[in-house]
Amino acid sequence: AGSTLGVILAVLASLILTANVLVAVALLRLIQKSGSKGLYFVLNLAVADAAVGFTVTGLVADEFSQLFHPPQIFCVLRMAFVTTSSAASILSLILVACDRHLAIRKPFHYLQLVTGPRVAVRLAGLWLLAATIGFLPVLAPGFQKFSNHKKCFFFGVFHPTYILTVFCVGFLPAVFLFIYLYCDMLKVASAHVQHIQEVEQAGLSGGCPPPR
């Protein structure tokens, strides 16, 4: 069972790393050509997902290791890196949604609002928040769960209180915000389509009268 899980994790980690590295390279070239600052948010999402794949490789090593008895702090740090990269991926999705929402809501002011320094500040804040979430059990040992397991896994080193806190304070609000942003974008897009249809109908009705 352990080797099967290790093979699955190894395949997933390889696919995640390869796919996101290719996406990151393509995005870098696209950014160089277009100069779009908003694409840096998508690039950051690819980097965060690649980091998830990289951190999973540590779990793969654990699954294939039979005589490995890691110390508590080692497991906590390993899971902290996994959590940090996962949190960065989720936060990057939110940031991409916010960027698209701003582009739709403020199309004429978008270029003035989304500048290089502002993008850099937002990305730095994103990774700082993700690191705070991931390394919270390291900073607050009360969130750690002490066990004698031979392998590192999320529920074996983190206390249920930490998991519940992250879920209620971080994950749920992020999901609701994500849904709200895309629902609002759908509403604005529908209004734009309706307006275009009204203009087209007005143009047809105001056209040249048919020949007698």
Is there a domain that residue 87 lies in? yes
What is the span of the domain harbouring residue 87? 2-191
pLDDT tens-digit series, residues 56-98:
887 777 767 665 677 888 888 989 999 999 999 999 999 999 9
Residue 177 located in a structural domain: yes
Q: Tell me, what's the pLDDT at 15?
A: 92
Residue 211 lies in a domain: no
Residue with tokens 């940031």: 95
- In sequence order, the β-bridge partners of residue 144 are 158
Let me know if residue 113 belongs to a domain. Answer: yes
CATH no. for residue 117? 1.20.1070.10
Confidence (pLDDT) at 197: 82
> What is this structure's pTM?
0.85
Supply the DSSP string of 93-155, one letter for each residue: HHHHHHHHHHHHHSTTTHHHHS-HHHHHHHHHHHHHHHHHHHTHHHH-GGGB-----SS--HH
Question: What integer pLDDT is reported at residue 66 of this predicted model?
Answer: 61
Closest C-alpha to 157, from 135, 131, 132: 135
Q: What is the number of structural domains in the chain?
A: 1
Determine, yes or no, domain membership for 205.
no
Q: Which residues of the chain have pLDDT under 70?
A: 1-2, 63, 65-68, 149-150, 204-212
Residue among 90, 97, 88 at smallest CA distance from 123: 88
